[in-house]
Amino acid sequence: MGNNPLVIAIVFVPFFTGIIALLFSQTEKDKTQRYISLAGGIITTAISVMLLLQVLETGPQTYQLGGVEPPFGIIFVADNLSALFGLMASTVLMMGILYSVSCHDKCISYPAFMPLFMFMETGLNGSLMTGDLFTFFVFMELMVLSSVSLVAISDDRYGPEAALKYILISGMGSLFLLFGIAAMYATFGTLNLADMGQQLASGERPLLAQSAGIMLTAAFLLKSAVFPFHFWQPDFHTTAPTPLSAMLSSVVVKVGIYGIIRLVTLLFAEEAQQIQQLLVILGIIGIFFGSFSALRTYNGKRMLAYSTIGQVGFILLCIGWGTPLALTAAIIYAFNHAFIKSSLLMLMGAVASRLKPKSAEFSYINGLGGKLPWMIGALWFVGGMSLAGVPPMNGFISKFAVARSGVADSQWLPVILAVASGVLTLTYMFRTWQNVFQAKAEPEEVRVKVKPVGDSYLAPALLLAICLFLGLYARPLVDVASATVAQLRDPSIYISVVGLFGG
């Protein structure tokens, strides 16, 4: 265990990369910042791989800041869950940077873009690794402020409006989180997750403890864009620059999912049943609300943003069922969805960037496929089939895991509804593929600005290759997810690692 430098490196390598990138210029032709960021992203991903392997081999790893031991000192903890989510986030963010290298959006050439992107990764990884609730809040706010700033400088004229909406709505989530933190500190005198988990495991419930649980649940639901806390998400994700929107809909929303999992397994395990009942209801509603909204929207990016609401519903449904098999399915689904959704948003961005308005509105992009390399349409078809759960892609593994866990728990109605929603996903993804890549547009409707470049679909192609691999060879992910759930169901493992640090 000890002071493992990998635990802190996955957080601060992106931070220092962003600082180094600030020292260099960034223009349309000078891509020094992008290459520096790409190098930092590759290093961070390599660190996340090594960290996960160490965690699986020798158990949770820790790193203590300062010289103050827990529960009062700040400690970073990498257990199976945080290490697996860290690998997911670092890999997808690296692909987002790779996409940025060849992206033609004007905002990518701003000197602040790549540093802010790296600071967002710092906040994301820090939220996953910290073992302290207030530090979690700090890292989450770093992630939020970085992403808001990136949306505000978007080429889309509605970017500043969407950024303002989100910062106001996110402020509500932050307020819930701060109130929950204050209540926990007033109750337990510490914000160390392991220490709070140990005290809550005693069965005693001081006055503010359960109120804190309610506020924390509301905060995490809002951060995950769960219905009915979703209202910020479509505008924000639609107007974001493509590299950012791909991250927002795939990995950033998973921080809230991560928080919910910690809430029901480590902190409020005794109240988990009440929380999980709520998650099942919200999950079912979210699945159908997101799917029907995606069917009726007017914009390709917006369609994928609504789709995320539906896909998060599947994850909540499994967390709500709460059985070991269902929690395993939730982790598998969250991991696989990150790769599928980020690739699809990059492809939609590659299509929209060819137009003078750089808009993903269907009135602009319908029929544009004939002007683009055939590979983009083929990749979209593959990604759409994966999102709908068609074999042999990893989306099928996710859907199968959900159905299997529901059947094992005799949750027949939710399973039938969840499986039926897959038809809706298949409908809006196949319809988009037909309209954009198969239909023939009128000449005046297709306004191509940028000549297609081969490497614009390199990042989504790599992501979809990972999706295919995880579909054909799913056993490693299933084994890691199963081991993760076994660890989560025994909170004493996490608690003892933190408590024994320095012993």
Q: For residue range 129-138, what is the model confidence (pLDDT) as tens digits?
A: 998 999 999 9
Residue type, 191: L
| Per-chain mean pLDDT for the chain | 87
> What pLDDT does residue 452 have?
47
Residue 265 has pLDDT above 50, yes or no: yes
What is the arithmetic mean of pLDDT over 105-133?
91
Q: What is the pLDDT of residue 168?
A: 81
Give the tens place of pLDDT for each residue, 6-43.
999 999 999 999 999 998 877 667 788 999 999 999 99
Give the Å distances, CA to CA, from 18 to 65, 119, 126, 137, 409. 21, 6, 15, 21, 47
Average pLDDT over residues 235-241: 80
Distance CA 67, CA 73 (A): 7
Q: Residue 214: pLDDT above 50? A: yes
Q: Kindly report the number of other CB atoms within 10 A of residue 231's CB atom.
A: 13
| Structure tokens given for 189 | 């005198």
CA 394 to chain centre: 17
Place of tokens 């990016």: 301
- Burial class, 238, CB count within 10 angstroms (exposed 0-12 / middle 13-18 / buried 19+): buried
Res 247 pLDDT > 70: yes
Percent of the chain surpassing pLDDT 70: 94
Return d(Cα 229, Cα 192) in angstroms, integer.
27
397, containing H or E segment: helix 394-408
375 neighbors 329 (Cβ within 8 angstroms): no
Model pLDDT, residue 11: 94
Which span out of 145-149, 363-367, 417-421 was modeled with the highest average pLDDT?
145-149
Least confident of 213-217, 228-232, 413-417: 228-232
Place of tokens 């769960």: 226
Report which of 268, 468, 280, 308 is spatially closest to residue 385, judged by C-alpha positions. 468
pLDDT given at position 369: 76
* Alpha carbons 118 and 11: distance in angstroms, whole number: 10
DSSP-assigned beta bridge partners for residue 75: 64
Q: 């992106």: which residue's tokens?
A: 14
Question: Of the ranges 288-297, 339-348, 376-385, 413-422, which one carries the lowest mean pLDDT score?
Answer: 413-422
Q: Examine the pLDDT at 228 and tell me if it is beyond 70.
A: yes
In whole angstroms, give the CA distance from residue 332 to residue 315: 9
- As a whole number, mean pLDDT of residues 389-407 equals 91
User: Cα(46)–Cα(193) distance, rounded to whole angstroms?
Assistant: 27
At residue 32, φ and ψ (nearest 5 deg) are -60, -45
**pLDDT tens profile 71-92:** 777 889 999 999 999 999 999 9
Mean pLDDT of 115-132: 94
Number of other CB atoms surrounding residue 27 within 10 Å: 11
413 pLDDT more than 90: no
How would residue 501 be classed by pLDDT, with cut points 50, 70 and 90?
A: very low
SS3 call for 11: helix
As a whole number, mean pLDDT of residues 393-405 equals 91
Q: What percent of the chain has pLDDT over 90?
A: 44
pLDDT top residue among 124 and 361? 124
Is residue 103 classed as helix, strand or coil in its secondary structure?
Answer: coil
pLDDT in tens, 171-183: 888 888 999 999 9
**Weakest-pLDDT range from 279-293, 439-453, 464-478:** 439-453
Domain boundaries, the chain: 274-472
Is 173 or 330 the better-scoring residue by pLDDT? 330
- The per-residue pLDDT for 48 is 96
pLDDT of residue 455: 57
129 and 10 in contact (C-beta within 8 Å)?
Answer: yes
pLDDT for 208 = 81
**pLDDT class for 450, splitting at 50, 70, 90?**
very low
The DSSP secondary structure of 326-353, one letter per residue, reads HHHHHHHHHHHHHHHHHHHHHHHHHHHT
pLDDT band at 503 (very low <50, low <70, confident <90, very high): very low
Contact 248, 240 (CB under 8 A): yes
Rounded CA gap, 281 and 276, in Å? 9
Q: What's the pLDDT score for residue 334?
A: 94
Q: Are 281 and 240 in contact (CB under 8 A)?
A: no
The Cα 257–Cα 233 span in angstroms is 15
